[in-house]
Amino acid sequence: MTDVTPSKPARRPHHWRRDLVELAALFTAVAVADSIAKLIVHGPDGPVLLVASAVALAATAAFHSWWSHRHGHSPPGTAAAGEPGGTEGSFTGAATGDGHGNGEGDGTAVHATTLWRVRTTVRDTPGSLAALCTALARGRVDILALQTHPLSDGTVDEFLLRAPAELAPADLAREISAAGGRDIWTERADAHDLVDTPTRVLNLATRTALDAAELPLALRELLGRCTIRSQPRRASAGSSRDDGAEEEIAREGSLEGTVMRLRDPSGGTISIERPNLPFTPAEFARARALVGLDARLGPRMPRGRDVWTLPSGREITVRRADTADIPAAREMHERCSPETLRKRYHGPVKDADRYLGHLLSPRFGRTLAVQTASGRLVALGHLMWDGDETEVALLVEDAWQRRGIGGELLRRLVAMAEEAGCDSVYAVTQSGNTGMVAAMRGLGLPLDYQVEEGTLVITARLVRTAARPESPGPRPPHGPYAPAGR
């Protein structure tokens, strides 16, 4: 744990007996040298005495080297058990140096370190956290941040640690377990995790306040690696007393181990799942507060517009779209050919309008609209949150195709995905949709192709700006009219 004030090195004890011995040796050496000089000058055996003096000096130097090695200061952590500064054990492969992973002040070299996020459950008794911190200190592991999550049968402690690079996760978990920890979970961290929790939560609240589409991303960043799905409200044929009970549960939310359910302010339910790591009541309260903020603010979306000039010289406007654009999107559907709609939606053309409410909802992603100077909508580009993956889709009106609009929309959508921290985006299309295939190739990114029953899934690997976990791989094909977030 990083201290507020830098720690000072311990004062070394003054050994007065060694000083007396060294002073006596110095006077003796001076007297011997003076006697030898006089004998050499006045005596007949000068060469013999020179050789004898050289031997004596060599012996003295050897004795001094042995004495310094025997009584010198040992490196930190190497004192015998029971002596001041001694330890009873150490991590396998732990590096020497100070508690911050460097060797400043003790003459050792600077060691490489690794950031880890570690969560463990300990007993809620005095001294349990101290024992855990002592075990980490023995391995020269620095605690950068600590969060506590009280439970009914213990306390969940979440650490951000800086450990020696050679310290294996298994060794770290073994020492934590020996110190009383259980249900240990470890994950590599990066520089983004160095931001303290209150600052990170305030930043997430600000992002959510500015854009309703940020809520799923903010929840994922708040809770770590998890899968978030928004289920739309389902109309029921009838109502009963049980229906009222289910509505009350949805309003308050529910927490069941690794699954959290919250009431979506726009209708329906937000389901959050994190495998192998149960949510704590504190995390549930934070997520519910963030969703409550979204509900209080109501519908909102950035209203910025960007004027773009086509190669032909004609100007068009690119802006964010939401459910208010559904009427204009339906009119664009009517102007599109059946073949264009079939390539986009992979199903019956007559059902295309049914999914505009889902596709244009900020809750399920972000949509870019292209309109002419007269205000006519001619193209839509969708970036959709699909659990822990991200899908891109394009629809360009027939009369405006082959003008570079699709490629420009796709580049902007990919830039938004990178800004949101996504590792990859995928597009579900048909092998005969040469326009979409060419637009994906035009990104200049590594692409993966997967074909199944005539459906082509193209996954683009985005440029990594920080160390993140590997993407789970290409997305398998979906059925007809299967939009993201289902």
DSSP per position, 337-387: -HHHHHHHHSS-GGGGGGGHHHHT-GGGEEEEEEE-TT--EEEEEEEEEET
Give the predicted TM-score (pTM) of the model.
0.58
Q: Residue 324 corresponds to which amino acid?
A: A
Q: What was the pLDDT predicted at 218?
A: 86
CA distance 232 to 269: 7
Q: What was the pLDDT predicted at 86?
A: 40
Architecture of domain 113-193: 2-Layer Sandwich (3.30)
Ranking 55-69, 287-301, 461-475 by mean pLDDT, the lowest is 461-475
pLDDT confidence band for 238 (50 / 70 / 90): very low
Q: Which residue has the higher pLDDT, 242 or 179?
A: 179
Start-end of CATH 3.30.70.260 domains in the chain: 113-193
Q: What was the pLDDT predicted at 208?
A: 85
pLDDT confidence band for 10 (50 / 70 / 90): very low
pLDDT at 11 over 50: no
pLDDT at 41 over 90: no
Q: What was the pLDDT predicted at 325?
A: 92
Q: What was the pLDDT predicted at 465?
A: 46
What CATH number does the domain located at 305-461 have?
A: 3.40.630.30
Q: What was the pLDDT predicted at 368?
A: 93
Highest mean pLDDT among 62-66, 153-157, 160-164, 213-217: 160-164
Highest mean pLDDT among 105-109, 150-154, 174-178: 174-178
Helix, strand or coil, per DSSP, at residue 107: coil
Mean pLDDT computed over 423-435:
87
Half-sphere exposure of 86 (CA within 13 A, CB side): 7
pLDDT at 281 over 50: yes
pLDDT confidence band for 277 (50 / 70 / 90): confident
Q: What was the pLDDT predicted at 243?
A: 43
pLDDT confidence band for 12 (50 / 70 / 90): very low
Q: Which residue has the higher pLDDT, 375 or 86?
A: 375
Mean pLDDT computed over 267-274:
85
Start-end of CATH 3.40.630.30 domains in the chain: 305-461
Per-residue b/e over 335-360, b at no fewer than 16 CB within 10 Å? ebeeebbbbbbbeebeebeeebebbb
Highest mean pLDDT among 61-75, 81-95, 332-346: 332-346
pLDDT at 64 over 80: no
DSSP 45: -
pLDDT at 149 over 70: yes
Q: Which residues, in sequence order, are CB contacts of 464 under 8 Å at separation 6+? A: 423
Q: What was the pLDDT predicted at 371?
A: 92
pLDDT at 275 over 70: yes
pLDDT at 380 over 90: yes
Q: What was the pLDDT predicted at 245?
A: 41
Q: What was the pLDDT predicted at 88?
A: 42
pLDDT confidence band for 66 (50 / 70 / 90): low
Q: Mean pLDDT in the chain?
A: 76
Highest mean pLDDT among 303-317, 397-411, 422-436: 397-411
Highest mean pLDDT among 62-71, 290-299, 347-356: 290-299
Q: What was the pLDDT predicted at 310?
A: 85
pLDDT at 436 over 80: yes
Q: What CA–CA distances, in Å, run from 289 to 166, 182, 263?
A: 40, 29, 12
pLDDT at 318 over 90: yes
CA distance 316 to 402: 15
Highest mean pLDDT among 3-7, 44-48, 389-393, 452-456: 389-393
pLDDT at 24 over 80: no
Q: Which residue has the higher pLDDT, 94 or 352?
A: 352
Tens digits of residue pLDDT in 343-373: 888 877 787 888 788 888 887 889 999 999 8
CA distance 382 to 408: 13
Burial class (CB in 10 A: 0-12, 13-18, 19+), 65: exposed
